[in-house]
Every structure is written in C-alpha cells, then in structure tokens.
Amino acid sequence: MQPGLLLAFEDETQAAEALASALGLPMALVARHRFPDGECRLRLPPVLPERLLLLRGLQQPNEKLVELLITLPAARALGARQIVLVSPYLAYMRQDMAFAPGEAVSQRHIAALLAGQVDGLITVDPHLHRIASLDEVMPGCRGVALSAAPLLGAWVAQQVPGALLLGPDEEALQWVAAAGLAHGLEHAVCHKQRLGDREVRVALPDLPLRGRAVVLMDDVASTGRTLVEAATAALAAGAATVDVAVTHALFVGDALAQLRAAGVRHVWSSNAVPHATAVVPITALLAAAVRAF
C-alpha cells in the first residue's frame, strides 16, 4: 500500500513522526476537543487522500475506541477510500471466550466492529490465544499481527547474555519461544491461575533457577500482578536476578512500584505503547508491514 497521508492523534505524535519519516509520508493530526459532559469533537484535515494510513493504539481503550469509531467514517466522508489502521496495541483481545455464562466475547465483537470500518489492520502481539489469526474475528478485513518478541529477545540477549526467558503463564509460550529461538536463549513458561483482577497464582516450571539470570517476558503487563508473582517465585527459587520485558507496557496504577518492591531489577518494553520503560522501537517493523500491505 502506498498511502497518501499518515493521520494520527497528538498523544502519539512521537510514534507517528517516526512512522511517517520511515515511510516518507506527510503526516497530520486529528484535533480533539473534550466537551464538559465528556463527549468529544474531532477535527480532521478537510480533504483526505484516497489511501489513508491511520495510527491509533488502543491503550485507555474505551475513550479511544469511541474516537476511532467517529474518526473512521468521518475520514471516508472526507475522501478516504482505503483505510489501513495501524494499532500497535489492540485492546480487548484477552476477552476471547465466555468465562461465565452470558459473558460477552469482547475480542470477537470489538474486532468485528473495527473490521466493518477499515480495509486493513496492522497490530503487534495481539493476545491471540484461543484463535490462530486475526482473520477469524475480522471478517472482510486483512489483519496483520506482527510480533515484537524477536526484537525484545535481541535486547535481552544483549543486556543479559545467557538469560532464561520465562513466560509467566502458558499463553506466553509463543513469545518466549520466538524470542528464545531467534537469539539462542533458553525458554520456559510458568503455570498461572487467575483469581481476580489483581490476584493471580503463579507456579514455576520444573527447572533449576538457582543462580540463573531470569527475564520474564509477556505480551502485556496491566496491573503487573502476574509479573510480580512470577518474579517473587523466581527469586524465592534462587534466581540471581529477575528482569522484565514486555511488548505492551500498560502498567496501570502502582504496577511499576509493585515490581520494584518484588525485587525486579530492570523493566523494559517495546514502544508499541508510549511508556517510560520503552527501549525497543518497533517503527521499522510497522513500516515494513505497511510497505508489504
């Protein structure tokens, strides 16, 4: 795809500038106004090219989804015929089954909602656990799921040679395996039981950890409790050091403080979500995917 413009929002200006520059594209921002009652008014460039690239990560998902659902049809009304959405963090992907009777499978519904509005979607490490690809939940839309795991693996291999990559739950196997195999690092996963939003139990794999440099790797850290439990267990089992590397640094509330208190040494993330811990850029990965679209 050769888009005519990259459209983005001002809170992602840095990521947008980097992507626009990598693709040699002009860039424009959507101007946002928040009314006293919480509604928003959005202003797009009055004339848009036929092929539009839109950058919008969905951290703080509800507010941004509403903005997106206004921006997309507005962009079509202003001239865009083909829209590819680059959403480095795609929210709602973890709610991928009804865990209790009557529970909405949000993954399917949010993905279908977006699929109805865009021609293509490029994202990074969406939480695909019970489905193999985005196509299963995005009818009529081409979905591309990239992974930052090999890039995180390269960073870890450089910072902590010989590290053991440890996924805090079985779902993380895809990421530790990709990173480990690409950079010659051993990998394993824990077993996790979730009891509530901030309550999880993590059981270590049957592997000697004494004296090992452990790097916990996951797709997303939200409250950080999954990583806290895994770090606590690894240190109790004799790990020499525990660091953390995640693709999506949500780290809500006191997550980072809890990780430090648990004895975690370094916290690293990709810049899929703008965050103070971001050390691994994914711009080149996104740009290559746009070019190949």
Would you list the DSSP string of 5-60? EEEEEGGGHHHHHHHHHHHT--EEEEEEEE-TTS-EEEE--SS--SEEEEE---SS
Residues numbered 25-84 forming contacts with ligand R5P, rule: CB under 6 A: none
Cα-based angle 118, 123, 124 (whole degrees, multiple of 5): 175
Q: How far is the CB of 40 from ligand R5P (least distance, A)?
A: 27
Cα-based angle 35, 40, 41 (whole degrees, multiple of 5): 100
Residues numbered 111-150 forming contacts with ligand R5P, rule: CB under 6 A: 127
Among residues 220 and 239, whose Cβ is nearest to ligand R5P? 220
Q: Residue 238: what residue type? A: G
> For ligand R5P, which stretch binds (CB under 6 A), given 30-38, 136-144, 168-176, 233-241?
168-176
243 binds ligand R5P (CB under 6 A): no
64 is catalytic: no
Among residues 172 and 289, whose Cβ is nearest to ligand R5P? 172
202 binds ligand R5P (CB under 6 A): no
180 binds ligand R5P (CB under 6 A): no
Per-residue exposure over 72-88, b if at least 16 CB sit within 10 Å of its own CB, e if not = beebeeeebebbbbbbb
Place of tokens 């690809």: 133
Residues numbered 210-229 forming contacts with ligand R5P, rule: CB under 6 A: 218-226
Contact 116, 104 (CB under 8 A): no
Q: How far is the CB of 150 from ligand R5P (least distance, A)?
A: 18
Q: How far is the CB of 240 from ligand R5P (least distance, A)?
A: 24
Pick the closest to residue 137 from 156, 114, 118 (CA basis).
114
- Catalytic residue, candidates 192, 212, 248, 275: 192
Place of tokens 């909405």: 104
Among residues 96 and 119, whose Cβ is nearest to ligand R5P? 96
Q: Which residues are catalytic?
A: 192
Residues that bind ligand R5P (CB under 6 A): 94, 127, 168-169, 171, 200, 218-226
